[in-house]
Amino acid sequence: MQTNAFPTQDISDNATGCCPRFKPEGWDNQHLHFENKKFLRATTRSAMHIPWNMGRVFTRVQEHIEDDAAAHPAKEIVLSRDTSPWEAEHYFAVEKDVADEEMTTLSGDFITRVFEGPYRKAKDFAHDMEVAATATGKTAKRVFFFYTTCPKCAKAYGENYMVGVAEV
C-alpha cells in the first residue's frame, strides 16, 4: 500500500444517487501507512452513542469541502470513532485545507478489517479490531470506522459494510 493511500472505491455503481455500493474487495486485512495525511476533523454530539447532530455537521462539512474543491470523490473517506457516549469525532480525508474547519493530520500504521452487520454491533467490531491488532503483535491505540454507506443506502443495498481501521 502506498503512503497516505486508501484502497480504491468504485463510485460508478450508485443506484441510490446517494452512497455508491461498497465493494469490500481490497479493503480487508490491509496495512495502511500515513505520514501527515491531511484530514478535516469534526465532532458530533451523541446520547449514549446515538448521534444527535450528525446530519447537520456532515452537511456543513461536505459543503465546505465541495466549496474548496478539497476532496476527490473516489477518495472521500470519513473515519469515525466515539470518544465518549456523548461525543464522536470524524476525520474527513481531504487533499488540501478547508476554510472554516479544523484541519489535522494522521501519521502512523493502521490495519483494516471489513465487517457487515447492523450499526449496533460496532462495539463488538471494535473489540475484534483490538484482537486483530494483538494478533499482529501490536496494540490498537485508536479504532476508527469507515461507515461505507448511510443507513438509507445500506437498507437499499441490503448490506451494511463497515471498515474497521485500527491505529497500531
pLDDT at site 140: 97
Q: Which residue has the higher pLDDT, 145 or 74?
A: 145
- Give the span between the Cα atoms of 87 and 42, in whole angstroms: 11
**Percent of the chain whose pLDDT exceeds 70:** 99
Mean local confidence (pLDDT), 145-154: 95
pLDDT at site 38: 97
3 state DSSP class of 132: helix
Beta-strand pair 31-47/50-51:
antiparallel
- Give the span between the Cα atoms of 51 and 100, in whole angstroms: 23
pLDDT at site 158: 97
Report CA-CA distances (Å) from 22 to 2, 8, 140, 158, 164: 21, 10, 25, 11, 14
Mean local confidence (pLDDT), 115-127: 94
- Under the banding of pLDDT at 50, 70 and 90, the label for residue 132 is very high
Convert the pLDDT of each residue in 51-67 to its tens digit: 899 999 999 999 999 99
Residue 60: phi and psi, rounded to 5, are: -60, -50
Q: Is the whole model's pTM more than 0.85, yes or no?
A: yes
Whose cell is 462495539? That residue is 123
- Under the banding of pLDDT at 50, 70 and 90, the label for residue 1 is low
